Amino acid sequence: MIKHGLQIFACNASRELACDISNRLGMRPGRIDIARFSNDNLRVQIQENVRERDVFVVQSFTEPVSEHIMELMITLDALRSASAQRITAVIPYYSYARSDKKDAPRISITGRLIADLLQTAGANRVLTMDLHADQVHGFFSVPVDHLTAVSLIADHFRNRHDLSNMVAVATDAGGAKRTGRFSEKLGIPMAIIDKRRVSDTAVKQGAVVGEVAGRDVVIFEDEIATAGTLVSSVDTLKAAGARSIHAAATHGVLCGPAIERLRAAAIDSVVVTNTVALPEDKRLDKLTVLNVAPLFAAAIERIHSGQSVGALFE
């Protein structure tokens, strides 16, 4: 039984996921009105009593990203003004985690900026999943619970594939640690593709480090955005003699030409989770979407009752 005082609110990017999380906790999402004034300014009104409540607001940073971030910021501020006792920003997909370093002159480390703004708006803590880089966790000055879908995705492959001939593949050296955790969960070997990024949208790939010839390979990433890296990795692995190719990622962003690229690619299956809501026109036959609502519900229950969130992954 969930203790009295817990409330969950959904902003527009994650309404379906928030409803599922709430249902699993035996409750309904709190009533909230998000509208616009005539000058296009956003207006958020909390339509529940939240005084001295433990409140969780669910909102992924998905397209349109700036719109959804602003929605969340105003909602956090409204909850703080309404005297909520503790406010947790639940951000299943934190897109600005990719802006984690100063890799060009005169640019913003935007992942850190957004972290500061969340605290300023009223967030007392953050709950998120599979950040693009581990160091982004340190950008926050409030407590952060960092969930992972590695076990969920690993279980999917364990239950549906013969692992005796399978190899996990990292698309570059930077993703080797992430892919290594996935390969350890499945007890399978790992290979790495030598990739050099030319620009934000273009990469140059070289040899495969590891044995993939005649093997079933699964490319493991934190997210699939335009699918450019994924498709070029498929071509590299096919040229290296891979027997079958699968792909898995926590965040199925699938923006721009991603759907057309995946449809045309020589790839057997793609597995993502519902941290990003996907409309029906992006639901390919080869695409499987796993549900992270049970994991978020369990984490929220543990945060609310003062239990360890890390115990979920032990």
pLDDT tens figures, 21-33? 999 999 999 999 9
Mean predicted confidence (pLDDT) in 167-185: 93
Over 70: is that where the pLDDT of 199 sits? Answer: no
Please tell me the least confidently modeled range out of 165-179, 185-199, 258-272: 185-199
- Residue 176's Cβ-side half-sphere holds a number of Cα atoms within 13 Å equal to 12
Reduced to 3 states (helix: H, G, I; strand: E, B; else coil), residue 218 is strand
**This prediction's pTM:** 0.94
pLDDT tens figures, 47-75? 999 999 999 999 999 999 999 999 999 99
Rounded Cα distance, 101 and 105, in Å: 11
Over 60: is that where the pLDDT of 200 sits? Answer: no
pLDDT at 161: 92
pLDDT at 203: 58
Over 50: is that where the pLDDT of 1 sits? Answer: no
pLDDT at 134: 83
Q: Which of 3, 101, 102, 195 is catalytic?
A: 195
pLDDT tens figures, 90-132? 999 999 999 998 888 999 999 999 999 999 999 999 999 999 9
Reduced to 3 states (helix: H, G, I; strand: E, B; else coil), residue 190 is strand
Judge whether 282 counts as a catalytic residue.
no
Alpha-carbon torsion 37, 42, 48, 50, what sign?
negative
pLDDT band at 197 (very low <50, low <70, confident <90, very high): low
Q: Is 292 exposed, middle or buried (0-12, 13-18, 19+ CB in 10 A)?
A: buried
For the beta carbon of residue 76, count every other beta carbon within 10 angstroms: 28
pLDDT at 4: 76
pLDDT at 57: 98
pLDDT at 313: 87
* Measured CA distances, 88 to 54, 76, 283 (Å): 8, 9, 31
Domains contained in the chain, CATH given: 6-148+293-313 (3.40.50.2020), 150-290 (3.40.50.2020)
pLDDT tens figures, 11-23? 999 999 999 999 9
pLDDT at 201: 54
pLDDT tens figures, 237-281? 999 999 999 999 999 999 999 999 999 999 999 999 999 999 998
Average pLDDT for the chain: 94
